[in-house]
A and B are shown apart, each in its own frame.
Chain A
């Protein structure tokens, strides 16, 4: 199975900050990497697919980059509604696997 490792596990930041979350795959997954946002008590929400493609309706302050084994999710200017947990997920091969999550908290 492909292991997905996110860093950091948690992060404190302020409104307006630029934030970057990293995801590393245990083997090459090309660009088969998706990012999801989850708020407490809610289902996850797709933000980025294919490593860098912005899902329809997602604000442009979210962006993704990377390929092979190393990927990043960047939020250019944090808004109050962005405080949530973020997960990366590989869709290169089954079993599809998620990172352990990065909890983004208000400083």
Chain B
């Protein structure tokens, strides 16, 4: 069965960086992309970008350009999301999700979420 397992929660100080991992299993890793979505406390969902797992192509929203980097390691079926220059408003639960490779790019399987707290 398809599973995405994320790394554990993090507490970081403002200005630091965080790197969250997402390990996929139960399917051919390079056939589907991975996206990242975050959710601030009590708020809605925010798309952070996606990466194609077979060649590492990335697409980030302008809001996060320059602060976010997504990478992939096909040998371990793991995707990483690094966010730099953390601010208090980056406090959120960070989710990875599989981007189904059909025409509509829906997010069909999700990780369990990784809480990241940014506080001095």
The interface of chain A, by Cβ under 8 A from chain B, is 1, 31-32, 34, 36, 38, 43-46, 49-50, 55, 87, 89, 91, 94-101
Q: How far is the CA of A13 from the CA of B105 in the complex (A)?
A: 32
Interface string of B61-89 (1 = CB under 8 A from A): 11100000000000000000000000000
Residue of B37, B63, B105 near A91 (CB, 8 A) is: B105
Q: Are A44 and B105 in touch, CB under 8 angstroms?
A: no
Given A49-B100, A55-B106; 7 other pairs, CB 8 A cutoff: A38-B45, A50-B104, A89-B47, A89-B107, A91-B106, A98-B46, A101-B44
Number of A-B contacts (CB under 8 A): 61
Q: List 26 A-B contacts (CB under 8 A).
A: A1-B61, A32-B105, A34-B106, A36-B45, A43-B95, A43-B97, A43-B111, A43-B112, A44-B95, A46-B106, A46-B107, A46-B108, A49-B100, A49-B104, A50-B103, A87-B44, A89-B45, A91-B104, A94-B61, A95-B62, A95-B63, A96-B47, A98-B47, A99-B44, A100-B44, A101-B44
CB of B20 to closest CB in A, whole Å = 14
Known: A94-B61, A101-B44. A44 touches B106 (CB 8 A): no
